[in-house]
Amino acid sequence: MSPVVPGTQLDHYRIDRVVARSGMATIFRGVDLRNGRDVAIKVPHPEIEADPAFFDRFRREAEIGAALDHPGVMKVYQDPDRSRVYLVMEWVEGRLLREILAEEGKMPAERAIRIALALCDVLQYIHQHGVVHRDLKPENIMVDERDRVKLIDFGIAAQAGSRRLTFTKLSQVMGTPEYISPEQVKGKRGDGRSDLYALGVMLYEMLTGKTPFSGPNAFAIMNDRLLNHPLPPSEADPSIRPELQEVIYRALEREPKARYSSASEFAWDLQHLDQVGVSERVELRDWRKRRTSLGRAVAFYVGMALIPVAVFALLLYVARHG
């Protein structure tokens, strides 16, 4: 099959330029020659096209995208008479949230909340329609100049009643280590609350400029969220209100049943921060203990390091005044 490159025509679509490349596919900007409409065209790499698992991912993404109708979801256009496997989507102006974070590091709380609320609205819609995204992350969110969002890439999304996908297919179905929920790390299917967990991670990142969990590799990052509590957001930025920090903690609960039960509940707290009760959390107590223990350990080792210096100084004094 001939390669798709800018300047060529794919069925009735003109390929204009490359927009992005991933391990799976190349996304082009193009034009539908039938009506002059700008579109985004996602073409899988040749070696991927023959893989049944990735073919299933493309098929699922097309089905879900075509079924959903919300201004915050990128529309997918169906066409049964294509000469090869590819997706055609609406062209969206704006920037990926990842690009914004890479450029700005973090953003003011008002803007972070505004974007989070927009995402809550989208998640409430897709969850009500039986769809769980399962790979919510800044790379899958377009933001326009008015901070309106567009959710893209439903490649590993799950529909109600679809087959279960687990940890054994990590590379295809688990999502991104920094954003997946603890239950997904454990190989469970996850539900809408898994998306809310990912949104909690992104809200933390938008406010602090870093993700709450880290490590040298994917497994270390995923293990970190199962064992440790992250740096409290207010420690990273003291301007973060206790009520907003509490909202983040509620979204990042390890047990799904302790999290927000719906995106609308998450949104209500963001819109009514003055009514969010703040309690003494184990996460904060553990962090204070860890910080105190770290401080004591540092003081101990500094003291140990100074002993030879003190001994040397004493010997030098004796030698000079003996």
Of 60, 65, 97, 68, nearest in space to 78 by CA: 65
Distance of CA 268 to the CA centre of its chain: 21
**Backbone dihedral region for residue 261 (phi beyond 0: left; psi -120 to 50: alpha; all else: beta):** alpha
Q: Residue 52 contacts by C-beta under 8 Å, 6 or more apart in sequence?
A: none
Paired sense of beta strands 76-77 and 87-90, if any: antiparallel
Coil, helix or strand at residue 21: strand
Is 135 catalytic? The answer is: yes
Beta bridge partners of 42: 27, 87
Helix%, strand%, coil% for the chain, nearest 5: 50, 15, 35
End-to-end CA gap in the chain: 92
Cβ–Cβ < 8 Å for 134, 157: yes
Q: What are phi and psi of 228, to 5 degrees?
A: -125, 160
Among the listed residues 135, 153, 224, 269, the single catalytic one is 135
Q: Which residues are catalytic?
A: 135
